[in-house]
A and B are shown apart, each in its own frame.
Chain A
Amino acid sequence: MSTSSQPLSRRAFGRLAAGVVGAAGLGALSACSTGGGKPSAGTPLRIMAINHVWSQAIQRRTKEFEERIGRRVSMTLLTADQLASSYNVKLNASGTDVDVMMVRALQEQLLFGHNGWLADLSDRVADSEFDWPDFQKAPREASLTAGKVLSVPVVTERPALYYRKDLVEDLGGPPRTLDALMDAARELTQKKKGFYGYVGRGQRSGAVSQWSSFLYSHGGDFVVDGKSGIGSPEALAAYEYYGALLAKAGPPGATNMSLEQAMPIFAQGKAAFYIDADAIYSSFLDPKVSRVRESIGFAPFPAGPAGARPHNIPSWSLGINEFSLLRDDAWEFIRWAAGPEMSAALQSDGIPGARSSVWSDPKTLASFPPDLAEAMRLNAERGLGYDRPRVLQVGRARDIVGRPLVAGILGQSVPPVARDADAEFAEFLVRDNRHKES
């Protein structure tokens, strides 16, 4: 190409540059923008959910819903961490590319509500056909933020004591108290043979939710009268108990264990007791992954010095993205997925729901092993509606609360770490309250 034959004047160059800048700007804007205006009939209803048995069951039934609303449904299943990060990225950009959001009411709702990311569902749940009062009290209360309903619970969870029937026969059955659990777990531990009396979550943050039942059963709480409760004698006793249980009767590497690491150890028959969410029981009945299918038993959470006080929480709920352009369809989805019929159908498939009517229906309970159904019923009756501090920054709070737990599991002296964590948590609560007011 001959440059001299096509010279560019300054003006032409200016026009060219402006054109390129404009095109790039438009390109960038259209790339950044996640859509606007009215969605077309071909726009799918986008649902982001946790990869959980509930979501998988719903995904199998979406065709029925698509036919009902005449719109395609696109459902993305992710891990909890991926889901939280995706929401952060999308909603920080006021993204409209997610309509229905599966959220953890106790983990994200307060913050998302503070950010204005969740639509107010108060008027929608008032629909008499939806029967909002039918939802259990604790999960229903967890759906409220600043007096507004921001989510609808779909999966509930309580801690179950999973145990090996063949090992507790001589002990007179599963332990009914935490002291009995400690004794039995230590007695059954044979570390040299790779067998452990107890397995459970030990990760700093991941263990906090399961530890909450130990804390409540020792008479403690995360926050007492608006102030840090993790330095109380009750909390200290709960920290020391849980640390000792995993240090003396637990497997190696317990501080790196969350659900994904702890569950296989019990499923492989390498532990006598395991306390974790009752919603995961089906994994132990699956012959592909479980060696304890024939020998597993289920019991309610054992009593501590303050009685048996487990948590009973809405582990997963559905909300609507405030920036969604398909809010009516999104609500239709929630009405369908969390409605009385679907809740009953899913609970009949062994997925514990949040509606009182399905819990009082013997047909839906028939899907659970009888001892598990009884444990669930008792735990739900005794349970508190939260398993972590109810603050804006739940992640930071769990990191602070979990530090003494780790110290206990590592065999370190718990009181100095608990004192330090208590001071940090007190300071954190002041900051968190300031954020809430801003």
Chain B
Amino acid sequence: MSTTEVSTAPTGTRPSDPKAPRERRPRTFEQANRRLKWAMLTPALLFVGLMIVFPLAFTLDLSLTDAFGAVNADKAHIGLRNFTEALGDTRRFWPAARRTLIFTVGAVLLETVLGLALAMLMRKSFRGMRWVRTVLIIPLLTTPVAIGILWLLILDPTNGIANHLLAAVGLPRQEFLGSVSQSLPTLMLIDVWQWTPMMTLLLLAGLTTLPEEPEEAALVDGANSWQRFRHIILPMLGPTLAAALVLRAVDALKTFDILYATKGPGGGSDFEVETLNVYAYGLTFDYQEYGLAAAVLVLFTLFIIGVVVLLRRRGGRKNA
């Protein structure tokens, strides 16, 4: 709409004449609309400012201080010393970063493969499908701490049912979460148990939107099931797969509750499941080293952003 069409400015006066009575500025629908738009946006902007920008800026500022004991105690700005301390820490920081990566890559890969397989199986409707879908989402609805305690009881090396079952079929007893070497793989499998259904549902939603013609054409041309999956379905599912991977990877990187519920502070006696998240929590709540904890969290945030950018680039290149 042109502004001149709805102009309400009075005619016959010269706006530049200082003696002329002060006239109202011309108001147009677009101007009013623009202002109202900002008025509508203000609550959202305030929310983002208070809940996202302020905590991030505060954490960044805290990471440059020697804050210890109490956050509101006197603290000095010490430049990047916390960052150099964290990056030079080969005892806790780097092993935690490595475990974060192993946990994420291992769990998300398994979840993607299993999720895709289940989605393919559930693609065509079958009897009892609703029931299967309902059962599938139960782990998603359960709180992670409850899941942690549940698996802790099942996998208890002495009293747990898992070892009774293994013994019943003649297999050796395992320590599971009680073992330094088995804890991380066990927790990855618990994560797979909990989150594969989400991958299945996301990929199933993607599969149902795919056109059927290309697959039918391939079928007419004599392509077998694997060829149709590999060369038709998978490329078409690419964008959904990339989005699901990014979502799940970011979530897996941040995993905390299940690790803490099963292994306690520090990720176990040999720090065997201590990820960056668990390490930062320990620095904050067990050691009260708020400056160093903030620096670790800033580095962790950068790490997550890096992973997301990498996944999106790879996803974008594949889909191009």
Residue ranges of A at the interface with B (Cβ–Cβ < 8 Å)? 3-4, 6-10, 13, 16-17, 20-21, 24, 28, 81, 84-85, 88, 91-92, 94, 111, 114-117, 194, 202-206, 251-258, 261, 264-265, 268, 270, 392-393, 395-396, 399, 402, 406, 409-410, 435, 438
Asked if B175 and A253 sit within 8 Å, CB to CB, the answer is yes
- How many Å from the CB of B162 to the closest CB on chain A? 12
A3 with B33, Cβ < 8 A, contacts A115-B69, A255-B180 known: yes
B interface with A by C-beta (< 8 Å): 6, 25, 27, 29, 31-33, 35-36, 38-39, 42-43, 46, 50, 68-74, 156-159, 173, 175-180, 183, 263-266, 268-270, 282, 284-289
A–B complex contacts, Cβ < 8 Å, 23 sampled = A7-B27, A7-B31, A7-B32, A8-B32, A10-B35, A16-B39, A17-B42, A21-B42, A24-B50, A88-B284, A92-B72, A114-B69, A115-B69, A204-B266, A204-B269, A252-B173, A252-B175, A253-B179, A255-B178, A255-B269, A258-B264, A393-B288, A393-B289
Shortest distance in angstroms between A279's beta carbon and chain B's nearest beta carbon? Answer: 21
> With A and B bound together, what is the CA distance between A438 and B69 in angstroms?
11
Report the bound CA distance from A4 to B5 in whole Å: 13
**10 pairs of A and B residues whose beta carbons are closest in the complex:** A253-B178, A395-B286, A253-B157, A7-B32, A255-B269, A204-B269, A115-B70, A252-B157, A256-B178, A8-B35
Q: How far is the CB of B274 from chain A (nearest CB, A)?
A: 11
The docked-state distance in angstroms from the alpha carbon of A205 to that of B74 is 29
Query: Residue B69 contacts which of A4, A111, A253, A261 (CB distance < 8 angstroms)?
Result: A111
Closest chain-B Cβ to A202's Cβ sits at a distance in Å of 7
Q: Indicate if the CB atoms of B36 and A203 lie closer than 8 Å.
A: no
Find the A residue at minimum CB distance from B270.
Answer: A406
CB-based nearest B residue for A14: B35
Given contacts A8-B32, A111-B288, A396-B287, A92 and B46 within 8 Å (CB-CB): no
Give every chain B residue within 8 A of A3 (Cβ-Cβ). 29, 32-33, 36
Residues of chain B contacted by A204 (CB below 8 angstroms): 266, 268-270
Chain A nearest CB, measured from B194 CB (Å): 21
Distance in Å: Cβ of A392 to nearest Cβ of chain B: 7
Q: Which residues of A contact B6 (CB under 8 A)?
A: 4
On whether the beta carbons of B69 and A254 are closer than 8 Å, the reply is no
CA gap between A206 and B68 in the complex, in Å: 23
Which B residues touch A254, using CB under 8 A? 178
- Specify which chain A residues have a CB less than 8 angstroms from the CB of B69 in the assembled complex: 111, 114-115, 392, 435
What's the minimum C-beta distance from A176 to chain B, rounded to whole angstroms?
Answer: 28
Given contacts A16-B39, A396-B286, contact A24 B158 (CB under 8 A): no
A14 CA to B38 CA in the complex, in Å? Answer: 10
Residue with the highest number of chain A CB atoms closer than 10 Å, among B6, B33, B73, B265: B265
Decide yes or no: A17 and B39 within 8 Å by CB, A205-B265, A393-B287 being known contacts: yes
Contact of A91 among B70, B158, B159, B266 (CB under 8 A): B70
Contact A92 B71 (CB under 8 A): yes
- The reply to whether A435 and B68 contact each other, CB–CB distance below 8 Å, is yes
Known contacts A115-B69, A253-B176, A395-B287; decide if A202 and B29 are in contact (CB<8 Å): no
Taking CB atoms, residues of chain B closer than 8 Å to A6 are 32
Collect the chain A residues with CB atoms within 8 Å of residue B73's CB: 115
Q: Are A268 and B42 in contact (CB under 8 A)?
A: no
Q: Chain A residues with Cβ under 8 A from B178's Cβ?
A: 252-257
Q: Which residue of A lies closest to B182 (CB)?
A: A253
Give chain A residues whose Cβ lies under 8 Å from the Cβ of B35: 7-8, 10, 13
B31 surroundings in chain A (CB, below 8 A): 7
Shortest CB-to-CB span from B113 to chain A, Å, is 30
